[in-house]
A and B are shown apart, each in its own frame.
Chain A
């Protein structure tokens, strides 16, 4: 399994709940990206990690969204007090280096009821 993996593939939650979405990048890839894709739109940048640190988190929509990558590999996107508008497919991508080809995972489809 050399690709980017994301778990869970689907997540249904209720408004106000907390969710965590996980991304396992390709081994050795130092750069990791999170995107959000709503129906009929292109992926929207959320946050970029270089190693363990968030190099650019300007895409996070508000302080309910937070992401970590404590050991420079697996990353978790955390959403507090979910809202119906958070429903989307959350995509993770990794690349060998900054500005390299990004390899995407299958996404997590989040539905907030």
Chain B
């Protein structure tokens, strides 16, 4: 069955530390990949997406993710986190021929001032 896994359930970082959240997907073939973020008390919102082309994708608020097909990975990175990045982060994927979007279990990020 298709699945998306996230390496960390809860990450705690100090401000200015670098962030990398792991994501792996089990799809074969061509895929669309996403990172969504949910700030406390807010809706899920799209952080960035990969559909095709440059495997290094830049999103909002300084986030980026790299699609590595050979590793079935789509890790999220940010060089220097801020307290306002405290949120729940979800990786998600779908086959481009349309299949339902599958979300990972989420990683809770806490940034300590």
Q: Which residues of B contact A101 (CB under 8 A)?
A: 46, 49
Nearest residue in B to A106 (C-beta to C-beta)?
Answer: B43
Q: Which residues of B contact A45 (CB under 8 A)?
A: 100-103
Interface of B is mostly: strand
Please tell me if the beta carbons of B46 and A102 are within 8 angstroms of each other in the complex: yes
**What 0/1 readout, one digit per residue, does chain B (55-96) give for beta carbons within 8 Å of chain A?**
000000000000000000000000000000000001010101
Partner of A105 from the list B43, B46, B98 (CB cut-off 8 Å) is: B43
Interface size on B, residues (CB 8 A): 20
- Determine, out of A17-25, A36-44, A66-74, the stretch whose residues face the partner at the interface: A36-44
Query: Given the interface contacts A42-B105, A42-B106, does A104 sit within 8 Å of B43 by beta carbon?
Result: yes
Partner of B90 from the list A43, A59, A103 (CB cut-off 8 Å) is: A43
Please tell me if the beta carbons of A42 and B92 are within 8 angstroms of each other in the complex: yes
Please tell me if the beta carbons of B100 and A59 are within 8 angstroms of each other in the complex: yes
Within the complex, what minimum Cβ distance (angstroms) separates B111 from chain A? Answer: 20
Q: Which residues of A contact B94 (CB under 8 A)?
A: 99
Query: Given the interface contacts A101-B46, A104-B43, A104-B44, does A42 sit within 8 Å of B103 by beta carbon?
Result: yes
Q: Which residues of B contact A110 (CB under 8 A)?
A: none
Expressed in whole angstroms, the Cα–Cα distance for A91 and B44 within the complex equals: 9
Q: Which residues of A contact B90 (CB under 8 A)?
A: 42-43
Please tell me if the beta carbons of A56 and B105 are within 8 angstroms of each other in the complex: no
Asked whether any CB of chain B lies closer than 8 Å to the CB of A58, the reply is: yes
Within the complex, what minimum Cβ distance (angstroms) separates B63 from chain A? Answer: 15
Query: Given the interface contacts A99-B94, A99-B98, A101-B49, does A42 sit within 8 Å of B43 by beta carbon?
Result: no
Please tell me if the beta carbons of B100 and A48 are within 8 angstroms of each other in the complex: yes
Q: Which 4 A-B pairs have the closest CB atoms?
A: A42-B103, A104-B44, A45-B100, A43-B103
Query: Given the interface contacts A99-B32, A104-B44, does A42 sit within 8 Å of B104 by beta carbon?
Result: yes
Q: Which residues of A contact B36 (CB under 8 A)?
A: 104
